[in-house]
Amino acid sequence: MKTAPLRSADMTTEEEQWRDIPSWEGLYQASSYGRIRSLIRRGRYRNYGGKILIGGVDDDGYRNVTLYKPGEKRRNPHVSVLVCTTFHGPKPLPGLGSQAAHRDGVKTNDRADNLRWATAIENDHDKDVHGTRALGTKHGCAKINEETARNIYASKGPAAKIGMQYGINASTVLRIRSRRLWASATATLQPSEKQT
């Protein structure tokens, strides 16, 4: 594990608090700034730890670190879950999908004051509030853009023909025309601009 250099951006007016991470007491601590550190401990042949862990970012954009207990497998939990558990207690609904939610919508901002426990539905609603929902061209599978969606919305002719023209399904054309898809792109168009 690498050590993290301290940067001036890490320093704020409030003092950083370090607390033992539940289930990892004596091994790892989480800070109110969203950092994780290992504690110095004796191994069989040498001493370990005493470092701030860097970790990485997973495919979904969340920070994670590798933690290890002697005699157990290595684990790669999200930093947000570790900090939220440490500063806000255990998950309130452990079997019902409690999630560590970021108040500002930035997945890598794991400060304790930016995290809270939320249900999956509440966390999903936050995407609309923060503007981070993958809609339109932000969606990884988008085949068209806003201008094309407006053209399809206002188009005349059979859906199958329009779909072939733009490389999409006829059902997608019908969903755009009924504003079930790309509603944000077609919202500015007046009903009179829509062709039947």
Q: Quick: pLDDT tens for 73-128.
A: 999 999 999 999 999 999 887 777 789 999 998 999 999 999 999 998 888 888 87
Q: Please name the residue that has the structure tokens 């701030």.
A: 52
- Rounded CA-CA distance 173/86 in Å is 49
Strands, E, within the chain: which ranges? 18-20, 28-31, 36-38, 41-42, 47-48, 56-57, 63-64, 99-102, 115-118
Q: In this model, does residue 13 exceed pLDDT 90?
A: no
Looking at the chain, the whole-number percentage of residues with pLDDT higher than 70 is 88
Q: How confident is the model at residue 51 (pLDDT cuts 50, 70, 90)?
A: very high
Instruction: Say how many residues make up the chain.
Output: 196
Each domain of the chain, given as residue ranges in start order, spans: 8-130, 138-193
User: Taking a C-beta distance cutoff of 8 angstroms, is the pair 89, 95 a contact?
Assistant: no
User: pTM score, two decimals?
Assistant: 0.68
The CATH architecture assigned to 8-130 reads Alpha-Beta Complex (3.90)
Q: Give the residue ranges of DSSP H helices in the chain.
A: 79-88, 120-130, 146-153, 159-166, 170-177, 183-186
